[in-house]
């Protein structure tokens, strides 16, 4: 395992310890509302602190972009860690066991290392650029399905910013009509990992943040999948509009979404 990936795994496991201890007493957790349907808890912040301290102990000159504490040390940093300490906070606060820790490492504009950890299943997804994607040390690949009517597609609903709800509902209607089903589970990082290991055949969502998708996108790519924006281009990390899947499924999914893309 690459040394930087090893540090990311260590950081993810430390964050998971914080999260899972708190999961037994979710009713006592202090929660703040950042915006409509967007919450942050003391657990998010504690898990993020555990990740950042682990990374900076090993690489004190690296930059950080984290969901709760924002950017630090990015000015002259060659490496940038993109961190979501608890992807699926709403699930976590409701005792719904679908959430994850996501850590990606950006170097010269490319994501080079990625970890997504599901502490409930003890599923550790990792990837290094050019080396492949793994689930608990086992190599993973995207689904081999080709026919859209046999595919299950993951997505995420627009719950914080509903200004594009009509656009999204049009997409959802057309995807439902052409596939075997759509799943919405509440953690984009895990959705991408599920594409990578073939549990679902594709994924799309709008208006995500870099920490939601940085790590998961590399895991998909290293598992043989493709990640694009809604127009089939590379601006997904900046726009937050993302589509992922195996090459043949991705092409059909993009075609299905195209009438709703401005």
Mark the binding-site residues for Mg(2+), compressed into ranges.
67, 84, 86-87, 212
Backbone angles phi, psi at 103, to 5 degrees: -135, 120
Q: What is the arrangement of strands in the sheet containing 242-245, beginning at the earlier edge strand?
A: 181-183, 152-155, 202-205, 242-245, 226-228
The number of beta carbons lying within 10 Å of the beta carbon of residue 155 is 20
DSSP reduced 3-state for 220: helix
Instruction: Quote the CA–CA distance of 243 and 236 in Å, as a whole number.
Output: 8
Q: Which of 146, 106, 113 is nearest to 128 (CA)?
A: 113
Residue 37 · residue 138 · CB < 8 Å = no
Pick from 135, 126, 151, 118: which is nearest to 6 by CA? 126
**Binding site membership: which residues?**
67, 84, 86-87, 212
- For 96, 145, 164, the CA distances from 151, given in Å and listed in that order, are 25, 7, 25
- Residue whose entry in the numeric block shows the structure tokens 């998708």: 213
For residue 184, give the 3-state DSSP assignment: coil
Spatial CA neighbour of 100 closest among 20, 36, 30: 20
């Amino acid at each position: 395992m690459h040394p930087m990936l090893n540090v990311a795994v260590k950081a993810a496991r430390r964050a998971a310890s914080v999260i899972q201890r708190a999961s037994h007493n979710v009713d006592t957790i202090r929660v703040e509302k950042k915006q409509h349907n967007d919450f942050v808890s003391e657990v998010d912040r504690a898990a993020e602190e555990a990740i950042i301290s682990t990374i900076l102990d090993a690489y004190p000159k690296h930059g950080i972009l984290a969901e709760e504490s924002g950017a630090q040390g990015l000015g002259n940093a060659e490496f940038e860690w993109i961190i979501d300490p608890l992807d699926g906070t709403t699930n976590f606060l409701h005792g719904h066991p679908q959430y994850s820790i996501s850590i990606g490492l950006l170097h010269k504009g490319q994501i080079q290392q990625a970890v997504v950890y599901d502490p409930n299943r003890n599923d550790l997804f990792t990837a290094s650029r050019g080396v492949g994607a793994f689930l608990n040390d086992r190599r993973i690949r995207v689904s081999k399905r080709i026919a859209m009517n046999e595919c299950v597609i993951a997505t995420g609903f627009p719950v914080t910013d509903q200004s594009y709800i009509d656009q999204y509902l049009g997409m959802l209607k057309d995807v439902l009509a052409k596939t075997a089903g759509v799943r919405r589970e509440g953690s984009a990082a895990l959705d991408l990992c599920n594409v990578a290991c073939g549990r679902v055949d594709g994924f799309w969502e709008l208006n995500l943040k870099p920490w939601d998708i940085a790590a998961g996108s590399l895991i998909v790519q290293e598992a043989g999948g493709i990640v694009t924006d809604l127009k089939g281009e590379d601006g997904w990390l900046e726009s937050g509009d993302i589509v992922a899947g195996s090459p043949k499924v991705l092409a059909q999914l993009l075609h299905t979404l195209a009438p709703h893309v401005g």
